[in-house]
Amino acid sequence: MAEQTEKSRFLELVEKNQDIIHKTCRLYAGNCEDREDLAQEIVCQLWKSFRTFQGHSKFSTWMYKIAINTALLNLRRNRSRDRARSLSEPHARATTGSEDHGGQEAVVRLYAAINQLRELDRAIILLYLEQLSYREIAEVIGLSESNVSVKLVRIKKTLRELLS
């Protein structure tokens, strides 16, 4: 009975915060199939870690931390696999086009610019766009608040240059 309650609570919290998963996947996975795979991996990691959630921070902050760490690990795994594949099959690289979701050209351009950032910078700007405080961003990323502030200034400057 207690496990059923825990599972119900978990599902309720994930459902309530599912946008975190979707946004993280959009930034760290290139196509729809990869996004679905990454979303499943994130939910799996959330469930595996759920018992460790102590409630010292908001659930959404904890969820971002798990989602971003899972996405980064997945990205590194895929890069290693791609490097190995490119060594054995030099012409097997897949091309990915930009996807337009509902004609939201500005959003598509912003995501394209964000995707050009380094992995850590993508995570920081995602959290900033979600209106997390510098303290919460620092907690998720593992940096000091002042370092987050400096990085955000640089990230915004880079994005302005990429979008102009």
Please give the pLDDT value at position 72: 87
Q: Where are the domains of the chain?
A: 1-97, 102-164
Instruction: State the pLDDT at residue 159.
Output: 93
Q: Is the dihedral of CA 113, 64, 120, 130 positive or negative?
A: positive
Low-confidence residues in the chain, pLDDT < 50: 84-103
| Alpha carbons 92 and 82: distance in angstroms, whole number | 10
Radius of gyration, alpha carbons of the chain: 17
Say whether pTM exceeds 0.75: no
CATH number of 1-97: 1.10.1740.10
Amino acid 100: pLDDT: 43
For position 91, what pLDDT does the model report?
36
pLDDT digits (tens, 9 = 90+) for 90-122: 433 333 444 444 446 887 888 889 989 998 999
What is the structure's pLDDT at 80? 55
Q: State how far the alpha carbon of 135 is from the alpha carbons of 68, 83, 144, in Å.
A: 17, 37, 8
> What is 102-164's CATH topology?
Arc Repressor Mutant, subunit A (1.10.10)
Q: What is the pLDDT of residues 31-41, one digit of tens each?
A: 899 999 999 99
Q: What is the pLDDT of residue 147?
A: 95
Confidence at residue 1, expressed as pLDDT on a 0 to 100 scale: 60
